[in-house]
Amino acid sequence: MTTSLQTAPRPLANDVGDAHWLPFTAMRQFRSQPMMFVGAEGMYYIAADGRRILDAMAGLWCVNAGHAQPRIVEAIRESAGRLDFVSSFKMSHPGAFELARRLTEVAPEGLDHVFFTNSGSEAVDSALKIARGYHRARGDAGRTKLIGRAKGYHGMGFGGLSVGGIGRHKRDFGPLLPDVAHLSLPYDRSKMGFSRGQPVTGADYADELEALLQVNDPATVAAVIVEPVIGSGGVYPPPTQYLDRLRSICTRHGILLIFDEVITGFGRLGQPFAAQAFGVTPDIITCAKGMTNGAVPMGGVIVSDLVFDAFMAGPPEAIELFHGYTYSGHPLACAAGLAALDTYEELDLFARTAALAPVWEAALHQLKGAPHVVDIRNIGLLGVVELASRPGEPGARGSLCAHSCYEDGVLVRASGDSIVLSPPLIVEEHQIEQIVASIRSGLNSMN
């Protein structure tokens, strides 16, 4: 068995076949031009053709401390040899408790309990179920409605898809959950274009929630879920005071507020969570990605005492939450999670991010005035350069620009005609300059 694995042919870059069906990928186009990586270290990927590619996406918004951090690699190795698997159903292992405790130390005050999942999508669907279960546990089972937001991305489970706000993601898969409403995107380019950090106008978009509640009857709403900064939908930082207003409206009506921090968690905004960066505490935080520095799949739902205690009120021998996954709290993921937290601390990565954010902002905004650029948004070490679409060819400029950057040795992500950026938080100033120069050259080279 070992021999056949060792001698199995490795796919060549120009002959990948179609046994592997890739997510969110134009398969037939990919086959004709496969982008393959064979290694990674620090800020760089090693492409199959041997080139070093500067990673301006932290993998997929997840490798916050850079690739192949030795402490994390070693922790995974050690854990694999010591305890490869143990179920979390009615049993556990010390690493899971240790990681949960460490997470609650960095989470906002009062969010003291962690439910482990294996991805952001599972974290979101778990959070939505916990929100409904919370109301039911308190004798308020009529609260089932969920409110999301336009352009929100909450993963690919049916729950996350339903509260998500990107129409194309839903088109082929309905019907989705009933009783879901959406807030609109708090953005108006004519007033907020080229804002640096949070737009100073637009807090009143939050008042839409009050209007929605009047239409939906607030006593039937379980939770509002938002990404504090919209990520995959195009990097939209919230207007100042917008999240505070959502918080107070939710509190007034007994509705749980969920922050989906799958991207913003673990330092992206210079604090452990965006909740702390914005000074707004939700009832539930969902996280994943940077939780293990992307090294092992893992997600989590961090809940407040209020929510947890509501579940703990029944008979002590009864299971309080009929929900979970085979790999919840997997030993390898927990080992990676603990090592990731140690690494973030050791590198003082969150403070470093806060200090570097103004440099990032200034560098990105140098692209104002470059061909096709219609907006630039940034916060922490997140950014987007939005391009005007070619008439009749939406997405063409985005993918041409990303392709040009890749040829130039820089990995950026095109989301439609937006170039989204989220480098590892260890990025150096000269690498920021390289990213911006590469995008500029891509923009200059196309019509």
Ligand X SMILES: Cc1ncc(COP(=O)(O)O)c(C=O)c1O
Interface with ligand X (CB under 6 A)? 119-121, 124, 153-155, 227, 231-232, 260, 262-263, 288
Give the shortest CB-264-to-ligand X separation in angstroms.
8
DSSP string, 254-315: T-EEEEE-TTTTTTTTSSSSHHHHHT---SEEEE-GGGGTTSS--EEEEEEHHHHHHHTTS-
Residue 354 CA to residue 361 CA, distance in Å, equals 11
**Closer by beta carbon to ligand X, 64 or else 438:** 64
Give the shortest CB-439-to-ligand X separation in angstroms.
22
Beta-carbon contacts of 389 under 8 Å, excluding residues fewer than 6 positions away, are 395, 396, 397, 416, 417
Sign of CA dihedral 70, 73, 74, 75: positive
**CB of 338 closer than 8 Å to CB of 345:** no
Give the shortest CB-241-to-ligand X separation in angstroms.
22
**Closer by beta carbon to ligand X, 265 or else 270:** 265
Residue 372 CA to residue 390 CA, distance in Å, equals 9
Q: What is the DSSP letter of 205?
A: G
**CB of 418 closer than 8 Å to CB of 386:** yes
**Torsion angle defined by CA atoms of residues 168, 174, 176 and 182, in that order, rounded to the nearest 10 degrees:** 30
**Closer by beta carbon to ligand X, 213 or else 269:** 269
Give the shortest CB-190-to-ligand X separation in angstroms.
27
Give the shortest CB-325-to-ligand X separation in angstroms.
12
**Closer by beta carbon to ligand X, 285 or else 405:** 285
CA angle 413/414/420 to nearest 5° reads 60
In the chain the first and final C-alpha atoms are separated, in Å, by: 54
**Closer by beta carbon to ligand X, 154 or else 245:** 154
Give the shortest CB-404-to-ligand X separation in angstroms.
24
Please name the amino acid found at residue 333.
A
Q: Which two tokens stand for residue 121?
A: 């999508």
Give the shortest CB-271-to-ligand X separation in angstroms.
17
**Closer by beta carbon to ligand X, 119 or else 195:** 119
**Closer by beta carbon to ligand X, 69 or else 232:** 232
